[in-house]
Structure 1
Amino acid sequence: MDAKQQQLESALHAAQMYYYQNLPMKKIAAELQVSHSTVSRLLSWARNQGLIEIRINDIRGRANTLEESLKLHFKLQQVQIVPVPEIAGEHAWQERVAKVAANTLNQVVESGMILGVAWGGTMNLVAANLTPRSLVGVQVVQLNGGEIVSNPSVNHAGWLVSQFANNYEGKAHLFPVPTFFDYPETKEALWRERSIQQVLDLHRQADVLLFTIGSSQGQMMSATYMGNYLHENDFTEMAQEGVVGDIANIMIRQDGSYAGIPLNERACGPNLELFRQVGRSICVVSGYNKLAGLRAALAGGYVTDLILDEPTAHKLLASITA
């Protein structure tokens, strides 16, 4: 038996004794003839490899919960509020929300599915927290083109899509186009190319769309607005059009509308009607600066599933009950 197989066997034995038999780590260490710290590392490795899945059955009455209130008001399939103290700060909120989103995605994606992913800082964190699953025939397609060239904390779009695809032993489909074109005519011409049409077809066939809300406000400004993709006149135009955020680089107004915004004619993102038509449209959001954009996305009907930090969730509920 090689070393990798031995590690797998030991991890499975440790997990079964710890979770099925409720044995303490000291007892497991004695039975496996290893140290206490080795048992801890084996259990951690087993979780990271997807050998262990933990499920919490929430049996509380749902009528008055924050999640249920948002779910009913916005007519969503699922709402997950991530508990996190407000004092922890927005970076900690984002980290925790990303971990929950990664776990949720593993419960949603199945063999044969097409997953569409919009790149960005939040999705970068989700990708970093994925737990491997062995599936068959999964395809992961990039929803919006471009790469983040001036923010070293965010991995480029190609890495991001490949990370999701590798996690499910699937195939990655990249979307090699600029974030924003200089001229609408250039985009129109490129959109007629067969290679681009193939990616756009995958967008339309997607079973699940995973995205966040882009925002040009606050300390945690979205990557789109920090990448030198937009000029000063673009921001002026956005203000004149009442833009409050974006979904995969498509700008939206407070009511969720996007038609008639000139910048969208040059944007690389998908038709937002896809988000209304797909079976699962999972929006992962963290931070007060994304609240206006989130409300717009909900008003537009682009979200079926919402994963949100608790402080922002309270602000969202307050904004609709005021």
Structure 2
Amino acid sequence: MTSLNPVSPPNAHALALQAVQVARLYYEQGLTTDAIASELGLSRPKVSRLLSHARRSGLVEIRIHDPEGQARGLEAQLRLRYPFLHPQVVSVPPGSGEDLWTERVATAAASLLSNLLRPGQRVGLAWGNTMNAVGRALTPRVISDVTFVQLNGSANDSDFVSGFVTDTILRFARNFGAGAQLFPVPTFFDDPATKQAMWRERSVKHVIGLQEHADILMYSVGSHTARTPSHVYSAGYLGTGDLKVLADEGAVGDIATVFYRADGSWQGLSLNARASGPDLSLMQSVQESVCVVSGLGKVTALHGALAGRLMHRLIVDEVTAQAVLALSEPAAPL
């Protein structure tokens, strides 16, 4: 029987030096085992044994940085901070730009909607840049007896011409072979009394009834500080005076053109009396209320929406998720 004698200290030192030499060529310079064998005058099996020794003895440490692992960790932190929330954090490549973040988040949202949707359901959609991106990421699938309902009006001079809102809603409907219920009222009324009168019209009451009985809601948060400002801010819906009033009253963002404060409250903001979007309690009551957010300019708006529990599901990129969690950190005691 052959016995294996322990390597003496000098031989162990030489073995370690040779293993480090091989490991540097393999891991740092990217040489193949064949190339290393040729360069050092060793056999290929010898090179493999030296690499194994380097790993086994701790001369080489292999660390796997799993981007999905980081995303799952952020999801756990969001659930801990906001127990009502079902978050999905989307990984993005390090150093990538916000356009790619939006693309990844939109693809995840499109996939979720396809998985959630069932025959006979109604889906309330709040139009905007993010929902436009989600619509473009959809994969065609026919689901019977589905209706997509526009959550807020879109009538203003520019969008009557551009078709931005109509195209977004219809894209969702066509993708699923579904019906579309548009909401052809002004985004903001000039006079709250005009809105109240319009809300008594049968055709308008019909759309509002569909909104209130939606099975799924999908929307984003609006912010004028986003790198690409939300459509309601960039397309002429709000004047300078409106923006000043919102700032003075503490508004930090909007959902379906209904504005809210940093604590998530929306009651008493003057512009909401003229807004066509639904009361934000709808986002609290519908169990499948899905908020889709991407971009550091939306962090404050998202933080406020989370404070008000204005969603049950959140799809967000990992960079924005990290920033929201940092903003949510409790203040250190003095």
Q: TM-score, normalised by structure 1?
A: 0.77
CA distance in 1, matches of 2:154, 2:69: 45
1:109 lines up with 2:117 in the alignment: yes
Shift in CA distance, 204/61, structure 1 to aligned 2, threshold 3 Å: same
CA distance in 2, matches of 1:262, 1:307: 30
CA distance in 2, matches of 1:143, 1:86: 35
1:304 lines up with 2:309 in the alignment: no
Aligned to 1:289: 297
Which of 82, 96, 105 matches 1:97? 105
Q: Is residue 71–residue 90 contact of structure 2 (8 Å, CA) maintained in 1?
A: no
Q: Is residue 303–residue 328 contact of structure 2 (8 Å, CA) maintained in 1?
A: no
1:280 lines up with 2:299 in the alignment: no
Aligned to 1:224: 232
Deviation at 1:163, TM superposition (A): 1.4
1:132 lines up with 2:143 in the alignment: no
Q: Is residue 127–residue 163 contact of structure 1 (8 Å, CA) maintained in 2?
A: yes
Q: Is residue 245–residue 252 contact of structure 1 (8 Å, CA) maintained in 2?
A: yes
CA distance in 2, matches of 1:166, 1:189: 33
Aligned to 1:181: 189
Structure 2 counterpart SS, 1:172: strand
CA distance in 1, matches of 2:299, 2:85: 20
Aligned to 2:323: 315
Structure 2 counterpart SS, 1:88: coil
Which of 250, 265, 268 matches 1:257? 265
Structure 1 counterpart SS, 2:104: helix
Which residue identity is paired with 1:100?
Answer: A
Shift in CA distance, 77/122, structure 1 to aligned 2, threshold 3 Å: same
Q: Is residue 114–residue 138 contact of structure 1 (8 Å, CA) maintained in 2?
A: yes
Structure 2 counterpart SS, 1:87: coil
Quick check: which has more Rg, 1 or 2?
2
Q: Is residue 221–residue 302 contact of structure 2 (8 Å, CA) maintained in 1?
A: yes
Structure 1 counterpart SS, 2:170: helix
Deviation at 1:76, TM superposition (A): 3.7
CA distance in 1, matches of 2:111, 2:72: 25
Q: Is residue 291–residue 314 contact of structure 2 (8 Å, CA) maintained in 1?
A: yes
Aligned to 2:203: 195
1:234 lines up with 2:242 in the alignment: yes
CA distance in 1, matches of 2:79, 2:262: 20
Greater shift, 190-199 or 293-302, is seen at 293-302
Deviation at 1:155, TM superposition (A): 5.4
Structure 2 counterpart SS, 1:216: coil
Greater shift, 156-165 or 239-248, is seen at 156-165
Which residue identity is paired with 2:307?
Answer: A
Q: Is residue 117–residue 161 contact of structure 1 (8 Å, CA) maintained in 2?
A: yes
Which residue identity is paired with 1:318?
Answer: A
Q: Is residue 151–residue 211 contact of structure 2 (8 Å, CA) maintained in 1?
A: yes
How many pairs are equivalent?
Answer: 263
Aligned to 2:90: 82
Which residue identity is paired with 1:255?
Answer: D
Deviation at 1:218, TM superposition (A): 3.6
Structure 2 counterpart SS, 1:269: coil
CA distance in 2, matches of 1:64, 1:158: 36
Which of 125, 129, 147 matches 1:121? 129
Structure 2 counterpart SS, 1:81: strand
Structure 1 counterpart SS, 2:95: helix
CA distance in 2, matches of 1:141, 1:88: 34
Structure 2 counterpart SS, 1:112: coil
- Structure 1 alignment gaps of length 5 or more: 1-57
Aligned to 1:207: 215
C-alpha deviations, 1:151-206, integer Å up to 9, x for none? 89x85222211111122211100000111111111111111100000000001100
Q: TM-score, normalised by structure 2?
A: 0.74
CA RMSD of aligned residues (A): 2.2
CA distance in 2, matches of 1:63, 1:144: 32
CA distance in 2, matches of 1:62, 1:263: 40
Shift in CA distance, 137/256, structure 1 to aligned 2, threshold 3 Å: same
Shift in CA distance, 148/310, structure 1 to aligned 2, threshold 3 Å: farther
CA distance in 1, matches of 2:144, 2:285: 25
Deviation at 1:219, TM superposition (A): 2.4
CA distance in 2, matches of 1:251, 1:263: 8
Deviation at 1:148, TM superposition (A): 7.3
CA distance in 2, matches of 1:269, 1:111: 26
1:163 lines up with 2:186 in the alignment: no
Deviation at 1:64, TM superposition (A): 7.5
Which of 75, 79, 83 matches 1:67? 75
CA distance in 2, matches of 1:186, 1:132: 40
CA distance in 1, matches of 2:167, 2:325: 36
Shift in CA distance, 64/311, structure 1 to aligned 2, threshold 3 Å: closer
Aligned to 1:5: none
